[in-house]
Chain A
């Protein structure tokens, strides 16, 4: 970096479980150019000041979902957030809220992954078909019913935004609920009934207090809040119908 570069102060929440009792802030003075992302700022610190600074990253183009962090208190992907937008003020970066910190900016995602696994996130075909019979047809209407909810990159910014997840880590949460909705709305799938049990369960949609912050922070415009709220209505309907309808497969 030449001396022409501006210098921004980056305040980082550091935590090493092997030596720190609790997280603490450290400030680094980072030379930057206008095209530099917050992620590149963190990389600059790691390469030049302290190799122990720890964070996840890979694609640099907002599609792999690795590099989410709190940036001045707001959950964002650090690769598509730019230092120039904070200069000349100091910028603070911290691990995503509501998740246990493993080290520095790395949080424990195992709970989120378990939620994804729990919702049967795969097609359970309504009408099984062999490969020789070719593709399933989907009209534009059928396609549009679910396509928006396929765009989730699992970055978990919505969990860091969700006050209910903060209170109850068992809440299935926005992204997993959006994915569940994605499969339920897919014309190829026939398993929505079994997924609805989870929707209506103690960990399900009724935890949501309709704050809508999850959709606001979503970098891919998935709108998980709408998925959650559609399922609130569906779960209520489902609950009601269960008393009226005969049970399938229970003879």
Chain B
């Protein structure tokens, strides 16, 4: 087995992993960094983020506004000390990206421009046309090349963490082009593997978004926190689930139902506005907009398309081709290429689809997990920024703010601990190799990976969708238990070593099943409605409301070998914002004024 001795190992080469790698390299050039990614880093799913990254920029904005938007948007399930740190670091880190060459869109006088986004009181979303994630990712990847201490392990698939003496001490990977196993030793390990949206059927996520790092940490006893909160994005391409960025609405696009009616005015987001108005109508938060879509469908006001299913429409015709080409060039091309329509002349059919995993590996405000030496950042982590519903454009900023912090912390930790016992680490790695190889070499299996994956994704959509009930969630929990059992009997066609994606897909499916179980079991345990977790049931409809007495709590899912996860509840850190009624549109403005008056 090939062995590499690093000081800091980073698993995942997207925005968060790359930012962390650069932070370690800058904090001490003598520290050896191993950056492991199952794809070339610029393929990571950060690449698909479109709209932009939030950070206070305008003189009329404040950290306090960004804080309150985020905490209220998260339905008070955010760690408030984490949000306070985040809003202050955001502009610094976004400026750092500018210094590294990120081509942020500019105003005429040469400054970085900002645009409006859902749930944000003031325009504060830095953007690079509608390819913000793409530009952030390529900027970070290209900048990372400057640092000789970053050793990349591109197209290495991580199969396990190595834990010894009560701390994490490295990872085991498969070099995909050969099938060879590698032991990468590290005094600290940062997980930055992204979300898990592919456990659902219709989603905006790339094929690689399979929750790998979440499952790895979970199996080593680290809690996955708030996994029931899955974000539905209100404007996705039907069938494929591809994303039409919220910036479509930030730039002034409307959402209309089959009658051409701007239905959001019926869901506490009005009154109607001609021009984009922050926190009104189409600039409401994603959970509310996706829920409105669900109600429109119940009311029979969605358009029933023969092949696309139930859809509403994104109307950008009034914005004109020139403006759309400048601000939303990718969206324009996607509409043309994938749907054969011209957004300057036609309505775009859209529906809500799974987009973002709010929960993740439970870490403290310094990104440290309960297993010493282990850190997690970005979508795979739950640092407590997003609560029960993430605001659009907070997650790209999260990558750089917490990527930097975790890099600094992991570097400090690596310098403080002594190296491990290499021979016993190798012994562990060899046992892991045997276990993973057995999945491929075993014979006689009859279950298809593709079939199990499809059944899982359908069941998650059925049971853990926009609205949930005890019965549907229980059916999903039962289905996942059945699939877990059937997974033991899978058959793998490909027995070769080189580029065996059949085998690696099976390892991914194993991760996905674990993560899916934490979502379904956390969901059924939360007997209230908050943010992206909405229920239709309970005695006299009790679970349809938020319940701060019993559930102003984080859900924590713990691994139980060969069984369903154990769900515990954890405290939420509240510093300066007590839970209130969450309101948008005119109601939100009134609540704001009342709050101000009571503080005078």
- A86–B571 alpha-carbon span in the complex (Å): 58
* B497-514 interface with A by 8 A CB criterion: 497-502, 505
- Say whether B307 contacts A35, CB under 8 Å: yes
Q: How far is the CB of B204 from chain A (nearest CB, A)?
A: 9
Given A113-B40, A140-B108, also A150-B135 (CB < 8 A): yes
Q: How far is the CB of B395 from chain A (nearest CB, A)?
A: 16
Choose from A16, A58, A62, A146 the contact partner of B43 (Cβ within 8 Å).
A58
> CB of A109 within 8 A of chain B?
yes
- Say whether A60 contacts B100, CB under 8 Å: no
CB neighbours (8 Å) of B142 from chain A are 116, 121-122, 179
CB neighbours (8 Å) of B145 from chain A are 116-117, 120-122
* A178-218 interface with B by 8 A CB criterion: 179, 183, 186, 188-189
Given A59-B48, A64-B48, also A52-B101 (CB < 8 A): no
CB neighbours (8 Å) of B338 from chain A are 35, 61, 80
- A174–B38 alpha-carbon span in the complex (Å): 26
- Per-position binary interface string of chain A over residues 25-61, scored 1 when its CB falls under 8 Å from any chain B CB and 0 otherwise: 0000000010100000000001110111011111111
- Say whether B43 contacts A186, CB under 8 Å: no
- Per-position binary interface string of chain A over residues 108-142, scored 1 when its CB falls under 8 Å from any chain B CB and 0 otherwise: 11000100110011110100010100111111101
- Say whether A61 contacts B334, CB under 8 Å: yes
CB neighbours (8 Å) of A136 from chain B are 98-99
> CB of A21 within 8 A of chain B?
no
- Say whether B47 contacts A59, CB under 8 Å: yes
Residue of A with least CB distance to B107: A140
- Per-position binary interface string of chain B over residues 419-455, scored 1 when its CB falls under 8 Å from any chain A CB and 0 otherwise: 0000000000000000000000000000011100000
- Say whether B111 contacts A135, CB under 8 Å: yes
- Say whether B103 contacts A60, CB under 8 Å: no
- A188–B154 alpha-carbon span in the complex (Å): 30
- Say whether B493 contacts A52, CB under 8 Å: yes
Choose from A57, A138, A183 the contact partner of B106 (Cβ within 8 Å).
A138
- Say whether B101 contacts A63, CB under 8 Å: no
- A142–B26 alpha-carbon span in the complex (Å): 29
* B32-64 interface with A by 8 A CB criterion: 39-40, 42-45, 47-48
- Say whether A123 contacts B493, CB under 8 Å: no
- Say whether A16 contacts B100, CB under 8 Å: no
- Per-position binary interface string of chain A over residues 134-176, scored 1 when its CB falls under 8 Å from any chain B CB and 0 otherwise: 1111111011001100110110000000000000000000000
> CB of A70 within 8 A of chain B?
no
Residue of B with least CB distance to A80: B337
Residue of B with least CB distance to A186: B101
* B462-505 interface with A by 8 A CB criterion: 492-494, 496-502, 505
- Say whether B101 contacts A123, CB under 8 Å: yes
- A19–B307 alpha-carbon span in the complex (Å): 42
* A63-85 interface with B by 8 A CB criterion: 63-66, 80
Choose from A62, A137, A183 the contact partner of B337 (Cβ within 8 Å).
A62
Residue of B with least CB distance to A142: B110
> CB of B3 within 8 A of chain A?
no
- A190–B145 alpha-carbon span in the complex (Å): 17
> CB of B574 within 8 A of chain A?
no
CB neighbours (8 Å) of A137 from chain B are 109-111
Given A102-B498, A121-B142, also A63-B131 (CB < 8 A): yes
* B88-115 interface with A by 8 A CB criterion: 92, 95-96, 98-101, 103-104, 106, 108-112
Q: How far is the CB of B242 from chain A (nearest CB, A)?
A: 5
Choose from B40, B92, B110, B206 the contact partner of A109 (Cβ within 8 Å).
B40
Residue of B with least CB distance to A59: B206
Given A54-B501, A113-B154, also A59-B45 (CB < 8 A): yes
- Per-position binary interface string of chain B over residues 181-209, scored 1 when its CB falls under 8 Å from any chain A CB and 0 otherwise: 00000000000000000000000001110
- A19–B450 alpha-carbon span in the complex (Å): 25
CB neighbours (8 Å) of A225 from chain B are none
> CB of A18 within 8 A of chain B?
yes
Residue of B with least CB distance to A109: B40
> CB of A17 within 8 A of chain B?
yes
- Say whether A63 contacts B110, CB under 8 Å: no
Q: How far is the CB of B436 from chain A (nearest CB, A)?
A: 17
- Say whether A18 contacts B497, CB under 8 Å: yes
Residue of B with least CB distance to A141: B110
Instruction: Select the residue from A60, A142, A147, A189 with max chain B CB neighbours within 10 A.
Output: A60
Instruction: Select the residue from B146, B337, B449, B505 with max chain A CB neighbours within 10 A.
Output: B337
> CB of A106 within 8 A of chain B?
yes
Q: How far is the CB of B107 from chain A (nearest CB, A)?
A: 9
- A65–B134 alpha-carbon span in the complex (Å): 11
- Say whether A150 contacts B47, CB under 8 Å: no
- Say whether A122 contacts B206, CB under 8 Å: no
Choose from B135, B330, B498 the contact partner of A17 (Cβ within 8 Å).
B498
CB neighbours (8 Å) of B206 from chain A are 58-60, 64
* B151-193 interface with A by 8 A CB criterion: 154, 177
Q: How far is the CB of B106 from chain A (nearest CB, A)?
A: 6
Q: How far is the CB of A55 from chain B (nearest CB, A)?
A: 8
Residue of B with least CB distance to A179: B142
* B237-288 interface with A by 8 A CB criterion: 239-240, 242-243
- Per-position binary interface string of chain B over residues 299-313, scored 1 when its CB falls under 8 Å from any chain A CB and 0 otherwise: 000000001000000
- Say whether B45 contacts A58, CB under 8 Å: yes
- Say whether B207 contacts A65, CB under 8 Å: no
CB neighbours (8 Å) of B44 from chain A are 64
- A18–B498 alpha-carbon span in the complex (Å): 8
- A84–B443 alpha-carbon span in the complex (Å): 39
- Say whether A106 contacts B499, CB under 8 Å: yes
- A146–B135 alpha-carbon span in the complex (Å): 13
Q: How far is the CB of B504 from chain A (nearest CB, A)?
A: 10
Residue of B with least CB distance to A139: B110
CB neighbours (8 Å) of A147 from chain B are 103
CB neighbours (8 Å) of B154 from chain A are 113
Instruction: Select the residue from A56, A63, A179, A189 with max chain B CB neighbours within 10 A.
Output: A63
* B370-424 interface with A by 8 A CB criterion: none
- Say whether B96 contacts A122, CB under 8 Å: no
Residue of B with least CB distance to A189: B101
- Say whether A125 contacts B498, CB under 8 Å: no
Residue of A with least CB distance to B496: A18
In order of increasing CB-CB distance, the 3 nearest A-B pairs are: A51-B493, A137-B110, A52-B494
Q: Pick 29 A–B contacts, CB within 8 A, sort by A.
A: A19-B496, A50-B493, A51-B450, A51-B492, A51-B493, A51-B505, A52-B493, A58-B206, A59-B48, A60-B206, A60-B242, A62-B334, A63-B48, A64-B44, A64-B47, A102-B499, A116-B142, A117-B145, A120-B145, A120-B146, A121-B145, A122-B145, A122-B146, A125-B99, A136-B98, A139-B110, A146-B103, A151-B131, A153-B134
> Which residues of A are at the interface with B, using a C-beta cutoff of 8 A?
16-19, 33, 35, 46-48, 50-52, 54-66, 80, 102-104, 106, 108-109, 113, 116-117, 120-123, 125, 129, 131, 134-140, 142-143, 146-147, 150-151, 153-154, 179, 183, 186, 188-189
